Amino acid sequence: MPQATGRGLYIHVPFCHQRCHFCAFYLEIHHARAAEEFLGSLLTELRLYGEQRLFGSEPLQSVYFGGGTPTTLSAPQLATVLSAARETFGLQDEAEITVEAHPGSVTQDSLSHLRNAGFTRVSFGAESMNQLELDRVGRPGNPMSTVQMVTAARTAGFTDLNLDLMHGLPGQTIDSWAASLRQIVELAPTHLSCYALTVEEGTALQTAIRRGTVPAPDETLQNEMEDLAEDILGEADFTRYEISNYCRPGFASRHNRLHWTGGDYLGLGPSAQSYVAGRRFGNVSDLSAYNAFLRTGTLPVTESEQLSAADDACERLVFGLRLTEGITLEETGALAFSGLAGKVDELIGDDILERRGERVRLTARGRRYADTVAVTLLASLESSLSSLPLTS
């Protein structure tokens, strides 16, 4: 089976200044002392993996600082981590180095510092350009801050800018969604991520919905908003290259494509997940425990699984189908498993998947059910494997 090339590093910064109502990610409220301790632990984790020579001599093609809000750390702190990553693993000459940022957590000076340190891409969490919509989900900040920081990022020298938007927010209408999209387009980013609001277990949003103080997302309305985004962004010369992502030519996220095409990536920080050489492993989702592991020189991995050839093929297929270009069954290895290949044929007959030459991809209808398709493919694989005769 052809192997995906490329190596990436993901760094989870587990701090925010406050938790938004929809957020279910692992995070802690930022405090300077906790951030300093975390920084020391993170550098230790980097060193330990460097001693393992996990990626051999191949340098990284991408580094992605996510969270949380990575820019709750100071620009010098982030620069220190990037420098350590460069020394530990090496970076390709044109490596993509992304930092997520809340517009209210950066300044002209901090953005300039990050650009000078080698960061090449900034991803702002705009979420909406409507103040009331932000307020309803406990999102701090305001749309004007997004406008100002996009300008500041360009002044600092960033030419690769992503903005995140959410649709299906409480009280959001087709008109207000269209207005947000058009205002964002006017800012001329190179990349946009448009996510449907999901109600996660244990969030303040879920509690509000159960109490009846906030309406649940309307799936039909969300679908209309998704279609509208494709129309408006298509007219503005953005290409939809993944279910939730659009870009200008040449600006698809290399780090995200690494995930969708089966490349290797190492995750650092509490709750971070990794996939290296067919093994999935994840860190403890607790900052205190994470620090305790690393104080003793122990990697904070609490779950690990070497994927079977069948599971690996299924994952490659599921992730590859997120790309609008789709994927070939040969490159995923799915052809070796009749149950998986057979289910693909069945989904093609149901107008969920379609063939374009040698590639298989989701239809427009199928994109509505991408998560269900993933579950269906996994179930078909498990069913076919369980029916195989035992051998000794």
Q: What is the mean pLDDT of residues 370-386?
A: 81
Residue 211's CB: how many other CB atoms inside 10 A?
A: 8
Spatial strand order in the sheet of 91-101? 239-242, 245-247, 191-196, 160-167, 121-127, 91-101, 60-67, 7-13, 264-268, 273-276, 279-283, 301-306
pLDDT tens digits for 225-276?
Answer: 999 999 999 999 999 999 999 999 999 999 999 999 999 999 999 999 999 9
Q: What is the mean pLDDT of residues 335-339?
A: 83
Q: What is the mean pLDDT of residues 92-105?
A: 97
With contact defined as beta carbons under 8 Å apart, do 273 and 282 qualify? yes
Residue in the block written with tokens 């620069």: 79
Q: What is the largest CA-CA distance in the chain?
A: 67
Q: Tell me whether residue 292 is in a domain.
A: no
Of 260, 285, 318, the one marking the end of a domain is 260
Sequence letter at residue 56: G
Strand partners, 160: 121
DSSP string, 248-309: -TT---HHHHHHHTT-EEEEESTT-EEEETTEEEEE-S-HHHHHHHHHTT---EEEEEE--H
d(CA 287, CA 138): 24
pLDDT tens digits for 44-71?
Answer: 999 999 999 888 888 999 999 999 999 9
Question: Model pTM?
Answer: 0.94
Q: Is the pLDDT of residue 389 over 70?
A: no
Kindly report the CATH number assigned to the domain that includes residue 62: 3.20.20.70
Give the per-residue pLDDT at 306.
Answer: 96
Q: Are residues 201 and 328 in the same domain?
A: no
The total number of structural domains that make up the chain = 2
Q: Is the pLDDT of residue 387 over 60?
A: no
Q: Are residues 332 and 193 in the same domain?
A: no
Angle between helices 143-156 and 108-117 (to 10 degrees): 40
d(CA 98, CA 61): 11
Give the per-residue pLDDT at 3.
Answer: 40
Which residues, 6+ apart, have CB-to-CB distance to 65 below 8 Å?
Answer: 11, 13, 78, 81, 98, 99, 100
pLDDT tens digits for 146-188?
Answer: 999 999 999 999 999 999 999 999 999 999 999 999 999 999 9
Confidence of residue 220 (pLDDT cuts 50, 70, 90): very high
Q: Are residues 197 and 339 in the same domain?
A: no
Range of the domain at 73: 7-260
Q: Are residues 200 and 342 in the same domain?
A: no
Strand partners, 280: 275, 305
With contact defined as beta carbons under 8 Å apart, do 213 and 184 qualify? no
Of 228, 260, 292, the one marking the end of a domain is 260
Give the burial string for 331-353 (b: 16+ CB within 10 Å, else e).
Answer: bbbbeebebbbebbeebeeeebb
d(CA 162, CA 256): 12
Q: Are residues 323 and 206 in the same domain?
A: no
